[in-house]
Amino acid sequence: MTAQTDGPARRDLSVYIHVPFCAVRCGYCDFNTYTATELGGGGSQAEYPANAMREMDLTLAADRAAGYDYGQVSTVFFGGGTPTLLPADDLVAMLSHLRTLIPLADDAEVTTEANPDSVSRASLSRLADGGITRVSFGMQSAVPSVLRTLDRTHDPERVPQAVAWAREAGLSVSLDLIYGTPGETLADVETSVKAALACGVDHMSAYSLIIEGNTAMARQLRRGELEAPDPDDMADKYELVDDLASADGLSWYEVSNWARTEEQRSRHNLAYWRGRDWWGIGPGAHRHRDGLRAWNLKHPSRYAAAMTDGSLPVADSEVLSDEDRLLERIMLELRIVDGLSVDEVPEETRPQLAVHRDRGHLDADALAAGRAVLTRQGRLLADAVIRDLVP
């Protein structure tokens, strides 16, 4: 990779730190996560923080050798897995080490994902004292039968308690929901969304369940033990989520995300959707730098072995072509409330903008002002709109 030749000499950076540990593997989960019984060979939870900090050192050295440097880190996101299975001191130590390499912005957004049963009042207070500013709880549902189908182990009554502890510690709070679980009714979705909103959250995510082929839930579907989600039912549930969120004062800013104010939007996720630079630290994590994408070795043991050898744990990489970068820009920016500049749409597909406006998928006023912005109907059909805009 050649050194950069344009743009600011010192760039803003986002950092994703993947903590690949879970107490239990959920039946729908296709993420790169492991329970303690699946690990060995240096990939333990106890050894993870030191390995992650070593990767930060190696990544910065590699970027500087390639002519890249960073003025500040604007967002950090501990994802997983369940990052809060690690002691709070471990997360704080990784954040503190990052700060010694690249300054954190004064208003840096620092988020950790958490399960409601993986935190305490004391651990949340320690995280806040150590520089975490935001916590995203995996609530998924407030209905016990839905949680059982998802293999979620937390008590739904634990969620308001965890949110209250986080608030007490001074943290911003997001709750993540999943809709479309087999057997879930519209009434179940309403119960879950109302329970989330009753916590007074700043931010809410609601994702439609996607059953990946290599998960336990996919095997249940193949055996006929569960019924596959119905697209029309999923659309009804999405509209219900949007109605309830809007009535409570949250506004959509990305197809699956709502925030109470513009300041409470997830700036880390917006960095992804806008194609900014980010590091991916940890097993299987992806990073992006000016069109260069790389991804790490997936298994924690192989990742740890690379750290022992003092080599970057990169499994492979690719340099995105101009065409690929355009495709990604359309795919990602069209999903956010600011939409996509009409000038970014290739000339050969630009007539489709008027077609989707006339179908009610794109906001007519925004389009007249030069931006393609999805209507709610368009959000339901976002993939189809994107396909028509890609050459």
- Quick one: three-class SS letters along 220-246? HHHCCCCCCCCHHHHHHHHHHHHHHHH
- Model confidence at 5, in pLDDT bands (50, 70, 90)? very low
Q: What is the pLDDT of residues 321-334, one digit of tens each?
A: 988 999 899 999 99
Secondary structure of 259-298 in HEC code, one letter for each residue: ECCHHHCCHHHHHHHCCCCEEEECCCCEEEECCEEEEECC
Pairing of strands 203-208, 257-259: antiparallel
Say how far apart CA 375 and CA 255 lie, in whole Å: 10
Inform me whether the pLDDT recorded for 57 exceeds 90. Answer: yes
Cα 386 vs. chain centroid, distance in angstroms?
A: 20
Phi-psi region of 132 (alpha: psi -120 to 50; beta: other; left: phi over 0): beta
Inform me whether the pLDDT recorded for 4 exceeds 50. Answer: no
- Model confidence at 227, in pLDDT bands (50, 70, 90)? confident
Provide CB contacts within 8 A for 128, sequence distance 6+: 169, 170, 171
Looking at residue 41, its pLDDT comes to 63
Say how far apart CA 17 and CA 208 lie, in whole Å: 24
Looking at residue 3, its pLDDT comes to 36
Look up residue 23 and give its DSSP letter: S
Say how far apart CA 78 and CA 136 lie, in whole Å: 10
Looking at residue 231, its pLDDT comes to 86
The residue to which tokens 């929901």 are assigned: 177
> What separation in angstroms does the CA of 240 have from each of 160, 190, 195, 206, 234?
22, 7, 14, 11, 10
Q: Which residue has the higher pLDDT, 390 or 38?
A: 390
Pairing of strands 251-254, 257-259: antiparallel
Q: What is the pLDDT of residues 88-145, one digit of tens each?
A: 999 999 999 999 999 999 999 999 999 999 999 999 999 999 999 999 999 999 999 9
Pairing of strands 104-114, 69-80: parallel
- Model confidence at 2, in pLDDT bands (50, 70, 90)? very low
Q: What is the pLDDT of residues 208-218, one digit of tens each?
A: 987 666 777 66
Q: Cβ distance 141 to 178 under 8 Å? A: yes
The proportion of the chain whose per-residue pLDDT surpasses 70, expressed as a percent, equals: 93
Pairing of strands 340-341, 371-372: antiparallel
Q: Cβ distance 22 to 81 under 8 Å? A: yes
